[in-house]
Chain A
Amino acid sequence: MTEPDQAVRVHIYERFVEDGRPPTVAETAAALGLDETEAASAYRRLDEAHVIVLAPGTTDIWMAAPLSAAPTPFRVETERGWFYGNCIWDGLGTISMLGLSGRVDTACPDCREPLVFTVRDRELEPVDAVVHYAVPAARWWDDIGFS
């Protein structure tokens, strides 16, 4: 990743965490003193490098893992506000990225019973659950939305 793209990446994450939504290309361009074409190109390069995920056919950020710009079944409360994670891995990752403690509220896809994963001081509290990975690691990026 080049230095300018890293600066764009850092800005995206900072704004996402502070605002609860990712910045648009125009907002990033204005903040970093870029023209919008440069900022859009940086967004596309970060997408191609699997650093962020753009909504198909747009320069709108869909995912900046572990965060999701769209509502998901993984609502995360952290020390710095609440967010949506892309999956249970990312829900717990959001807690790790933003502090020491938090909780992920989700539900069993089979029976719809609520499941709560609580982390306190970087320790997961006991929870009666299992986590299922449907797709082998080498194929996660074939369809990251499904994975």
Chain B
Amino acid sequence: MLAFRSEEHVKRWCESKGLDRGALLTPEQQWYLADAWYRERLAPDWRRWTPAEAEAIFAGLGLVGDFWRLRKPGRKPG
């Protein structure tokens, strides 16, 4: 997770590394994600987020879709 000056810089860097472009966050989205994720990390009863909890945090910031999915897709009935 790297910070760039702009989307154009991301595009150029990805091309130079032979990488596909991934997901882009605004600085505000990144701050709120970091705050939600780490605020309680020093608490004596801290535990890892479950995949469902993590996905809910992502979704609360508008981060949805396959890129942000942690749970395997459920089997469809029938």
Contacts and interface: CB of A to CB of B under 8 A. Distances in A.
A131 B12 contact: no
Nearest to A106: B3
A9 B40 CA distance: 13
A68 to B, nearest CB: 13
Contact of B1 (A13, A50, A131, A136): A131
A114 B69 CA distance: 32
Among A9, A91, A109: residue with most chain B CB under 10 A = A109
B4 A117 contact: no
Contacts of A122: 35
Interface of B: 1-7, 9-10, 12-14, 16, 19-31, 33-35, 37-39, 41-42, 44-48, 54, 58, 66-70
Interface of A: 1, 6, 9-10, 13-14, 17, 49-51, 65-66, 87-97, 106, 108-111, 113, 115, 117, 119, 122, 124, 126-138, 147
